[in-house]
Chains A and B, each alone.
Chain A
């Protein structure tokens, strides 16, 4: 069965609104979660590393005020795209790492379309 639940799987919103994407670990406690963005026909780019109970670490070029990450519990990390614009339209994928196991699990992804 699924180990990671990512929701919503797709969302369409108007420019200027904020969108929250959830990544939930179903079977284990995930101390670290990673968020990736994938533009059409391109590869996955790491956006940020989310650690439970502490601030996320963002990759160079990723605006922390635009992409708010909250990892409030060991089973849930959220990515909020604030004041979304059409250029934020992308496929967002979370990745979890099992605590102590090193196993990697990916969410199914969330496709964001900003009109």
Chain B
């Protein structure tokens, strides 16, 4: 399967704690993106990191990319109950215009 793998599959934390999700992929990529999806809703683009970048920040989000290990991580700091959602990584394989999604992490933040 082309699909990337994410872990953990599910994560439950208390408000204020940090949440870390990991993504591994299989092919060379142009970029890697992280998306959020509330239950039964569409996707919200969070952040894009290019293959020549190693780390990127956006507000409470921090994304790292290790192309040698074909892996990425998403860190949400000081989590809030409103962060409860599913998070997906998506890779843009090199030389294609496809976007391949990972298996996703379901995050539950308890108030």
Contacts and interface: CB of A to CB of B under 8 A. Distances in A.
A97 B40 contact: no
Contacts of B45: 104, 106
Interface residues of A, number: 20
Interface string B12-35: 000000000000000000000100
Residue of B42, B88, B104 with highest tally of chain A CB at under 10 A: B42
B108 interface: no
Interface string B76-111: 000000000000100000000111111110100000
Given A46-B100, A49-B98, A106 B3 contact: no
A43 B88 contact: yes
Interface residues of B, number: 17
Interface in A17-54: 32, 34, 36, 41-46, 49
Contacts of A34: 98-99
Instruction: Specify the main secondary structure of chain A where it touches its partner.
Output: strand
Contacts of A97: 97
B18 to A, nearest CB: 23
A69 interface: no
Nearest to A40: B40
